[in-house]
Amino acid sequence: MARIKKKQKNLIKDIATERIEHLFKLAEWSYSSYPQRSDRYVDLARRIGMRYRVRLPSCLKRRVCKGCNSFLVPGNSSRIRLHGRYMTITCLKCGKEMRYPYKEDKKANS
């Protein structure tokens, strides 16, 4: 009985992950014509993640503003700057700055 429940739980989490990824694809596709709709898609994806306890992948998490939960598109709704060992992403709607570490290429420094 326990094995069946665990398989069901894993299946539900897999479906939730697929839905989250699909919503982010829709948000990216519809941003140019309907930016508000893409923000709604991101909001739905975050809610699905919270409901089924599924983390957003880090590459998708960086596409969401932590201040206003809007979809971030570099150059349109966000600004990206590189500072030494970290990257700063600034939301152009609310002004929130998010910092993420990254590694520089050692070949570029040499």
At 67 the pLDDT is: 94
Query: In the chain, what are the domains?
Result: 2-109 (1.20.5.420)
Q: Which residues contact 65 (CB under 8 A, 6 or more apart)?
A: 72, 78, 91, 93, 94, 96, 98
Query: Residue 37 pLDDT > 60, yes or no?
Result: yes
Mean pLDDT (the chain) is: 91
At 108 the pLDDT is: 58
Q: What share of the chain is helix, strand, coil (3-state, %, to 5)?
A: 50, 20, 35
**Do residues 42 and 24 lie in contact, with contact meaning Cβ atoms separated by under 8 Å?**
yes
At 6 the pLDDT is: 82
Does residue 46 sit in helix, strand or coil? helix
- Residue 6 CB: number of other CB atoms within 10 A? 10
Whole-model pTM over 0.95: no
Average confidence (pLDDT) over 75-96: 95
Query: Residue 77 pLDDT > 80, yes or no?
Result: yes
At 45 the pLDDT is: 97
pLDDT tens digits for range 53-66: 999 999 999 999 99
Average confidence (pLDDT) over 27-40: 95
